Homo-oligomer: A and B are copies of this chain.
Amino acid sequence: MQAAIYRGPGDIAIEDVPKPEVESPTDAVIRVTHTAVCGSDLWFYRGDNEPEPGSRVGHEPMGIVEAVGDDVTSVAPGDRVLAPFAISCGECEFCRKGLYTSCVEDESWSGDNGGAQGEYVKCPFADGTLVRVPDRYADDEDTLESLLPLTDVMGTGHHAAVSAGVSEGDTAVVIGDGAVGLCGVLAAQRLGAERIIAVGHHDDRLELAKEFGATETVTERGEDATERIEELTYGGANHVMECVGAASAMNTAIAAARPGGTVGYVGVPYGVDEEGLDVFSMFSDNIALRGGVAPVRDYAEELLSDVVQGTLDPSPIFTKTVDLDGVPEGYRAMDEREAIKVLVKP
């Protein structure tokens, strides 16, 4: 079988690798029909972190179950499934309380499991990880493309909104117009926010943000952005969603928050060690910081329900589609911001 392999910064190759097999009774093997390139894949692509060269990549699989181990009861061969970027056993304390990303098993899409940007992956803990797509929609291409973001960015945007405490009638500020920020706008709108202020620097993405429910957009940078947000919110927002994952964006989020407000953050906060976090503003204004790596498995059922009912559709974030051989080109297009997010059909 073929799969995308990390060879070094800027270098993704498609190579022959062994096809995974069921090894443990809780495993499932999935033939990947849909997957994606993630903004977080760009970290290693840009050399911000460096996995072992030869590593399999991709963590947003959707596909058809090919085989299952003897203990798997929730899915069977032939089922259409999707899987979150984080593998979860479904049975430990943290999975039980919905914090699937803190699963004690600590498994990931790598090593023997393979990466999602390949023809097949092995999913350990299939019962705790896989989300079955109802048969009625299992071959509906439009629905599948709308469901694929539930593997990562849609659940992550939702986590930002939930962490920021967004609910009916609120004003929410969304920092970032990447795939997660755009999904954050959708999530805030879905949770009933009345005003959604999208902050970003790309006109096309902010247009999409408006289609997704943003009522206003802010394109200024740094302190000018903060001033504009304060102007629009008469002194700061009670709910700010940080959807970038950078120290500067975190500090913009803190500055945009109203005293007593909450910043919900979902991006790995790169640069915080160097740039620092404005903890003194958080302290003096009692601004809470909530969030972290999104437990998207916990949100899958409710978001899936909305997608199949037609009230939620994040698929417009996919602005480019490639096959497996096109994955390196997909990375390039995302790295150069030609594409918001790349859909891969192996």
Name A residues whose Cβ lies closer than 8 Å to a Cβ of B.
94, 97, 99, 101-102, 163, 259-260, 265, 268-269, 272-273, 276-277, 279-280, 282-293, 295
| A273 partner residues in chain B, CB cutoff 8 A | 276
Q: Pick the residue among B260, B288, B290 that contacts A102 (CB under 8 A).
A: B260
List the B residue with the shortest CB-CB distance to A265. Answer: B283
Top 5 closest pairs, chain A to chain B, by CB: A286-B292, A102-B259, A288-B290, A289-B289, A99-B260
The answer to whether A102 touches B286, judged by C-beta atoms less than 8 angstroms apart, is: yes
The answer to whether B286 touches A295, judged by C-beta atoms less than 8 angstroms apart, is: yes
Known: A102-B285, A286-B102. A97 touches B260 (CB 8 A): yes
Chain A contact surface mostly: mixed
Known: A260-B94, A260-B97. A276 touches B283 (CB 8 A): no
Known: A99-B259, A99-B260, A260-B94. A285 touches B279 (CB 8 A): no
List the B residue with the shortest CB-CB distance to A99. Answer: B260
The answer to whether A293 touches B284, judged by C-beta atoms less than 8 angstroms apart, is: yes
Q: Pick the residue among B268, B277, B279, B291 that contacts A286 (CB under 8 A).
A: B291
Give this chain's copy count: 2
Chain B: minimal CB distance from A68 (Å): 29
Q: Besides the contacts A101-B284, A269-B279, what 12 more A-B pairs have beta carbons closer than 8 Å?
A: A94-B259, A94-B260, A99-B259, A99-B286, A102-B260, A102-B285, A163-B288, A265-B283, A277-B277, A277-B279, A283-B292, A286-B291
The answer to whether A289 touches B292, judged by C-beta atoms less than 8 angstroms apart, is: no
Q: Pick the residue among B102, B276, B286, B295 that contacts A293 (CB under 8 A).
A: B286
Chain B: minimal CB distance from A278 (Å): 10
A-B contact pairs, 23 of them (CB 8 A): A94-B259, A101-B284, A101-B286, A102-B259, A102-B286, A163-B288, A265-B283, A269-B279, A272-B277, A272-B279, A273-B276, A276-B276, A277-B277, A282-B289, A282-B292, A283-B292, A283-B293, A285-B292, A287-B292, A288-B288, A288-B291, A289-B289, A289-B290
| A283 partner residues in chain B, CB cutoff 8 A | 265, 268-269, 291-293
Q: With A and B bound together, what is the CA distance between A101 and B260 in angstroms?
A: 10
Q: With A and B bound together, what is the CA distance between A284 and B266 in angstroms?
A: 10
| A289 partner residues in chain B, CB cutoff 8 A | 282, 288-290
List the B residue with the shortest CB-CB distance to A267. Answer: B283
Chain B: minimal CB distance from A156 (Å): 12
List the B residue with the shortest CB-CB distance to A281. Answer: B292
| A99 partner residues in chain B, CB cutoff 8 A | 259-260, 286
List the B residue with the shortest CB-CB distance to A290. Answer: B288
Q: With A and B bound together, what is the CA distance between A289 and B290 in angstroms?
A: 6
| A97 partner residues in chain B, CB cutoff 8 A | 260
